[in-house]
Structure 1
Amino acid sequence: MRHVRSIAVSLSLAVLAGALGGCGKKETKDNGAEQQRKGRWVETREELPEELVPWNLRQMFSAGGEVHLLASRQENGKTVFSEWAGQGEVFTDVTQGWLASVELPCEEVVGVTLTQSGDGTQYLAANYALPEETSYRSCLWKSDAGQAKDITPEKWTVPNEEWGMYESLRGIAALEDGSLFALTYTSMDLLSGEDGNVLESEEVSAQYNDTVVSDGENIYLCATENPGMQIEKRQGSPGGSVTKIDFPTDSAYGANICATEEGSLIVAGTDGIFRRRAEADAWEKLLDGPETDFAMSDCWCAGLAVQEDGSIYALFQESGGGARLNRYAYDPEAVVEIEEELHLYTVYESPLLQQAAVMYHREHPEVAITIQYAYSAYDSGEADYNAVYQELNTLLMGEDAPDILVLDGLDMDSFMKKGLLADIGEAVGPMEERGELLSGITGNYIQEDGKRYIVPLQFGFNMALGRDIEAENMASMEALADFLSGTEENYLGPQTIGELVDKFYPYFCGDIVKEKQLDREVLGGRLECLKKIADSCGIVESRGKGERAYSMWDLASGAKLAFSEVTGFKNCMFPIAIVDYIQGSFAAYENSFLPLLQTGICAKSRYQDTAMDFLRLALSESVQDKDHYLGFPVNLASLEKQAHEDRSESEAFTSIEAEGGEVEFAIRQYSDETAEALLAICKALDKPAAEDAKIREVLIEALGAYLEGSQTNEATVQRIEDGLKMYLAE
């Protein structure tokens, strides 16, 4: 649970002194002349013709100096396609007969791509499932004398022997010589444009996103496994020479690329629009992310295209249906009029923060909010909080110190005690009083003096999932310990001491320390419960290679109890599907919430009023309405709205171990009754979970002898107290 882990790192007095003196920005007058310059790239919304309203726009590309759009719609239970071309706001139906003749016997199609080779031959690729199937299959057609010719490679038509699923096409592009480059989850292939036969093949050894673009001679792939992300430029075939190009941004959200015939690259995403000219060594930033729809979370880019005049077009799909087409071009008369530039620092990248920054700038064009994050969503493994503290301390001492701080995983008490955070009660308090926020969550941050310095913008909770166990028996540590001690069955499966501690201590970590003293009575009671649970599941010293503790993935096979941190109604779909499959039950463990995006304002920011106004927006419905899978909203109206949303677009298929082997598993949207139950749980949560690396370390060191029965409860409590005495006294 990296989002709530804190570690014992103190801010030095020297750093704090520097930070208190350095928070805030230069006065507007210092950079006003620079900000009033003329000439900049601008975003313009293009009107789409009414004829396109019934169609679902799937793709965009450039051809013959015009923007081309691929569209689909359902007719009599089948999916049909059309192609449109235009420039500006005028589009014409240019669908060729072969494309119009393609009719897929289904209503759901994904990964649709129309591509064109140097001689004008067109190809259509699509992934779809027949009505009686749950596994998607990939198909490929070409235009052949006005007819649609199926040239699907044979390897795509045979289910994988191990998984029982078809090869899944992720991206495809045509080359000038008439061949096709295709990327699947297992391989990259060079296909014959004549009959689809595989000419060359290479096993995929890196992690790629679904982007495959071509400039006619070269293929460009986005590799997400390498540090900082990279673009791989492959000359023609899978085995061709590879040039690696650093990505211009670390953002994990909404990275889109396209290539021009001259070999220039465009990358557009939440951090902005970037261009790298052919043979150039560096990227140039054309437009900041908050100035564009790329940073909005209520839409996503479905394609980029570059015109001969250098202007860039982007096709966006909107949440709830609909599409928009934007044009980006340099306007020599446009004026930059930024009067205030606020800096927001967050440990983890967040689409909600990005959305809030964009929306605030659009409501207040004179204010820009720049976001800096330590870890993107692509970063895996444990966060290095020592490095985060060092980076943040350096920022707090500098001229561009953050105005807004999102402190997930950091020791927020140290920031408050040293006076680094402003009281945000004037922003949060009135919203609580009006019933706009979940006060059971946000109210936990009111200090003894009535002030508050932090508020979480989102939250999650630890969901207990069980088979042959009622919800009330796994809703608390005491109830679970009593239940498990009364059954001979092993519900959790064997645990290491570290695994057992990590499962349970975050939910009593805050209870065992009172005013820098260990509460021996509370700790003793929790240890008794932990001993009962350990006796039930059994303790193993370590895990062998490839071994792991039971998780919710095992509930249909070996496990009968598991825990899952859930962070949104969509994020609940998989665990709820598991519960439905095993005909089990679920509960919010310890009625605790996991605070996310814990936000405060720098005490010495010159723009505290603006930062406070931004915080109000971040807590409002307009920002909190969107379910990003990464957290439930603390805004009550948004929470209720998300609970009742249609989640059918988030349904998926996978496989799980059950009934003695692998079975296909459908993740469907759950019932209205279940949604109401989840909503009720969220409204009742009132206790924050918390982690502390030192307390965790001491617990693990002290519990071995106790859990094996050779050390008393009292002796264990004493050992833990001795291990924490100096730490708690600091």
Structure 2
Amino acid sequence: MLKKIESIILSWVIIIAVCSCSIKDEGKMENEGEKKNVENVSDEEASWLSTELWLPDGVEFVNSLNYLLDGTLRIATAGQDAAVWDSQNEGGGWEKPDADMSLTSDYGYHYSSEGMLYVYDDEKLVLSPADGSEMKTISINDGDQFISTAISNNILAVLVQNMNSMQLHVEIYDLQTMEYRSLDDLELSEYLSNSQSDVGNVALNSTGEILYIAIDGTGIGRYDLKRNQYSYLIEQDLFQNLTNSEQKEGLNHEAEICTGFAVDDTEKKIVLCMLNMIKNQSKLYLCEWGIPEDKEQASKDKLRIYSLKKHGEIQQAVSLFQEKCPELEVTFEVGYTGEDGVELSDAIRTLNTELMSGNGPDILVLDGLPADSYIEKGILEDITSIVDQEKENIFYNIISAYNKKESIYQIPTTFSVPIILGDAEVIDAKNRKELMDILEKKAVTGLPLITPENFAETAVDLFITSDILEGTIDEAKLSDFYRDLKQIAKQSFPDNEIDTSEEFSRMTYWAEEYPYIGFNPEMDIFLGNAQVGIDKISSFETYLEVLSVCSEKDLSYQYLNREKGNYFIAEAVFGINCTGKYRDDAKQFLRYYLSGEAQSAMSYTGFSIIRDMMKDSKYVSENGEFVGSKTRDENLDKGLNLYKVTPSKLQGLIDFFEGLNTPVKDDAVVLQKVMEQADACLFEGKDPESSARDACSEINLYLNE
């Protein structure tokens, strides 16, 4: 078990152990005997499959796990009710063994494949040999700490982190001679040095000849200690696919990290221990090499919810809904991760093909998808009746504006508002042309219009609130847009030097992150580093900063580019596939989401479409108390003072939201292609006309498909 994680959550574990139910002698799985047969499976037809295992009754935190010599899976728990459990059928049933528990440690028990007890902390490891011989202690070198250990056949493997360099390395001990060696294999060293995480675990097979290493998010490595050969047991991409939420019992990386694993000697079974960082609970997953179920048949067995990109809050809502309706199996699928070589446009094409064939997901999260096309083609179900039931409790103006017709096909459930911050002259600008004229006048002061850090977000917000995209994309307007960006950059970057060395300085980076982007123009204006701010009111925290800087600097805020309407960014937009197999269950999910029950129990970005959720915010009070200062300087005198929102100011914000009437144009592929050419124009010297022509060529081809 990873020491760093254990030290952080130890107090949580103790609380969990005290509050948990009393542990019974045996826990049984209802689906015992349903495991797939992994023997005699040809590589051509097989793949890795994952299934969640039941833990013994009352067990919430698993401290360690390993396979014993006879194939028994052993787990140990930590805390006040520390215990050891064995299962001879991978979680089909659990029983308490007659295991040695003579040593004590805040970090809990660990066992070798022979059942030998050992405990360890960051600095030393203590072994209680199974043959009753004298206990042994192994101390860590100065400046190092133990991260994970495994023992088998008198071989000890230790994953070590150097606290100065933060680099990981592996040490192997022969417990008979007490000699040790550090593994210096080039491929292994590269694997460890390239890892972006210090969350790691090791395991050994029963002979102690094969070492397995898993660094969080990088797959499972395999090292033959006799031949000194490194390879992958499960490569990174395969491991991520195996543990994503598209699987029937998939692991959720949004909320879980791997804290331990065990590999049986056939290397066809791997048990992963995942820790849910929100609930502070462990889960065990059995990954088996076997024949998968037919995907089309599997799709008939569950309510499928699809999102083009990862969406943590919806994943959280799915989990809450699953707990509320345990009889209904719900899965959350992500079409584009950016990590598997699949292009964004290809992911949408794959979804479209599935929808047109009548086998698509039941619920679509429409963020970034061509929803208007889906409505025209009759793919989305009319859900007006669901919205009408909550009409008095929601910002109906936003839902109405998003659908543009009397019938409701799409439900935005959270939203944010692009705004412009500045003096009266700035906020009077109704469109980008007027704004550019005003900015040109203000450029002569020598003070940057915006800071370089805010440039990328400004570019994205100016585009999505423009009229450049109307059915197809207007090449002349896009060329003007690129020309304006170059002018703003000239007036905002010191000595006209644009830093291209950092990934986050590029607009394509933030197009990928949209709509979850944002720096802090309010602080730049407050500190006198900028004249203008383009931002989004996306939370009460943002709104407090906007109010504060407006008060301090005698400024105001307004909708951005409001000539064609008052724009809003809709997020977590739900639609129901009219050919879905579980439309009634899909409607049940939407009713649950709109009732506010889900959102009151979860964290989410943006403001809720449910109006009353605003009144319950911790940032609203009768007296508008001081809540703190925000600063980038050690001198607190320069802090931006923040105060809670009084009822009158809250009503002002609600009135501002009631004026929203125009959704932004935020097709994910279009935004990506536009910002690719924006980067080329600003960072690579490409002229605006060529950039616009190349962008339109790709975008209009995509839009006409």
TM range (shorter): 0.5 to 0.7
Q: Which of 492, 515, 520 in structure 2 is aligned with 1:537? A: 492
Q: 1:322 to 1:488 in 2, by over 3 A?
A: closer
Residue 563 (structure 2) pairs with residue 609 (structure 1): no
Instruction: Tell me which residue corresponds to 1:187.
Output: 167
Same amino acid, percent of matched pairs: 16
- Matched to 2:407, the amino acid is K
- Contact residue 209 and residue 223 of structure 1 kept, 8 A: yes
What is the deviation of 1:189? 0.9
1:61 to 53, 59, 65: 65
Report the 3-state secondary structure (helix = DSSP H, G, I; strand = E; otherwise coil) of the residue aligned with 1:220.
Answer: strand
Take 1:311 and 1:222, find their aligned partners in 2: how far apart are those partners? 12
**Corresponding residue number in structure 1 for 2:212:** 220
Gaps of 5+ in 2: 1-30, 36-50, 87-93, 129-133, 289-296, 507-517, 561-565, 621-630, 635-640
Q: How does 1:278-289 map to 2 (within 5 A)?
A: 288-289=248-249
Q: CA RMSD in A?
A: 6.6
Partner of 1:154: 142
In the aligned structure 2, how far is the partner of 1:606 from the partner of 1:372? 16
How far apart, CA to CA, are the structure 2 residues paired with 1:627 and 1:639? 14
Superposed CA offset, 1:298-347 (max 9, x none): 88876667999x9979676574x6647789999xxxxx999864444331
Q: Does 1:444 align with 2:401?
A: yes
* 1:197-596 matched pairs, under 5 angstroms: 199-200=182-183, 202-203=189-190, 204-207=193-196, 210-216=199-205, 217=208, 218-222=210-214, 230-236=219-225, 240-246=229-235, 270-272=245-247, 288-289=248-249, 319=278, 323=281, 341-357=302-318, 360=321, 367-376=328-337, 379=339, 384-398=343-357, 400-433=359-392, 435=393, 437-439=394-396, 441-448=398-405, 450-460=406-416, 482=438, 485-486=441-442, 487-493=445-451, 501-509=459-467, 533=488, 536-537=491-492, 545=501, 549=505, 552=519, 560=530, 590=560, 593-596=568-571
Distance in 1 (CA, whole Å) between partners of 2:325 and 2:261 is 28
Name the CA distance, whole Å, in 2 between partners of 1:471 and 1:239: 71
Q: CA deviation at 1:634?
A: 3.8
Q: Does structure 2 retain, via aligned residues, the 8 Å contact 1:552–1:563?
A: no
Give the deviation of 1:69 after TM superposition. Answer: 1.1
CA contact (8 A) 2:53 2:285 kept: yes
**Aligned letter for 1:597?**
A
Q: Is the 8 A contact 2:449 2:488 kept in 1?
A: no
Q: Could you tell me which amino acid in structure 1 is paired with residue 83 of structure 2? A: W
Cα deviation, residue 422, structure 1? 1.7
Q: Deviations over 1:486-539 (max 9, x none)?
A: 442125356999986435221234xx6789998x9x999999997984563269
In 1, the alpha carbon distance for the partners of 2:451 and 2:537 equals: 22
Structure ranking higher on relative contact order (CA contacts 8 Å, 6+ apart): 1
Distance 2:65 2:701 in 1: 60
- 1:99 is aligned to 105
Q: Provide the rounded CA distance (Å) in 2 between the counterparts of 1:327 and 1:243.
A: 20
Quote the Cα distance in structure 1 between the aligned partners of 2:170 and 2:327: 50
The one-letter code matched in structure 1 to 2:249 is G
- Aligned partners of 1:678 and 1:440: how far apart in 2? 18
CA distance in 2, matches of 1:675, 1:301: 44
Check the 8 A contact 2:305/2:331 in 1, yes or no: yes
- Cα distance in 1 for partners of 2:489, 2:428 equals 17
Q: Find the aligned partners of 2:140 and 2:364 in 1 and give their Cα distance.
A: 52
The answer to whether 1:178 aligns with 2:156 is yes
Aligned to 2:374, what secondary structure does the other structure show?
Answer: helix
Can you list the C-alpha shifts for 1:177-224, whole angstroms capped at 9, x where unaligned? Answer: 124123679533123669999834535124457242313444434568
How many residue pairs get aligned? The number is 555
* Structure 1: segments with no counterpart, 5+ residues: 1-35, 50-55, 73-81, 101-111, 126-138, 157-168, 253-266, 273-287, 331-335, 646-656, 664-669
Deviation at 1:68, TM superposition (A): 0.8
Distance 2:407 2:677 in 1: 36
Q: Quick check: which one's helix share is greater?
A: 2
Instruction: Determine which structure has the larger strand proportion and give its number.
Output: 1
Q: Is the 8 A contact 2:414 2:571 kept in 1?
A: yes
8 A contact 2:245–2:331 mirrored in 1: no
**Which deviations, in whole Å up to 9, do the C-alpha atoms of 1:555-609 show, x marking residues without a partner?**
8999657767797789x89x98xx99xx999989738543233221223445433
Q: Is contact 2:243–2:253 with CA below 8 Å preserved after alignment?
A: no
State the SS of the aligned residue for 1:375: coil
CA change 1:117–1:251 in 2 (3 A) is closer
Letter in 2 for 1:68: A
The Cα shift of 1:246 comes to 4.4
- Structure 2 vs 1, CA of residues 623 and 501 (structure 1 numbering), >3 Å: closer, same or farther? same
Counterpart of 2:586 in 1: which secondary structure?
A: helix
For residues 96 and 504 of structure 1, do their structure 2 counterparts lie closer, same or farther at Cα, with a shift above 3 Å needed?
A: farther
- What is the Cα deviation at residue 414 of structure 1? 1.7
Partners of 1:420 and 1:367 lie apart in 2 by 24
Find the residue that maps to 1:172 and give its secondary structure. strand
Which has the larger displacement, 404-413 or 344-353?
Answer: 344-353
CA change 1:636–1:97 in 2 (3 A) is farther
Displacement after TM superposition at 1:439 (Å): 3.6
Secondary structure (helix, strand or coil) at the match of 2:105 reads helix
Distance 1:148 1:396 in 2: 63
Q: Answer yes or no: is the 8 Å Cα contact 1:99–1:148 preserved in 2.
A: no
TM-superposed deviation, 1:241: 1.7
Cα separation, 2, equivalents of 1:121 and 1:558: 63
Amino acid at match of 2:308: V
Query: Retained in 1: the 8 A contact 2:366–2:573?
Result: yes
Output the amino acid matched with 2:79: A
**Greater Cα offset, 145-154 or 500-509:** 145-154
Q: Distance in 1 between matches of 2:253 and 2:703?
A: 46
Give yes or no for contact 1:313–1:327 (8 Å, CA) kept in 2: yes
Q: Are 2:111 and 1:124 equivalent residues in the alignment?
A: no
Say if 2:82 and 2:108, in contact at 8 Å, map to a contact too: no
Distance 1:116 1:339, change over 3 A: closer
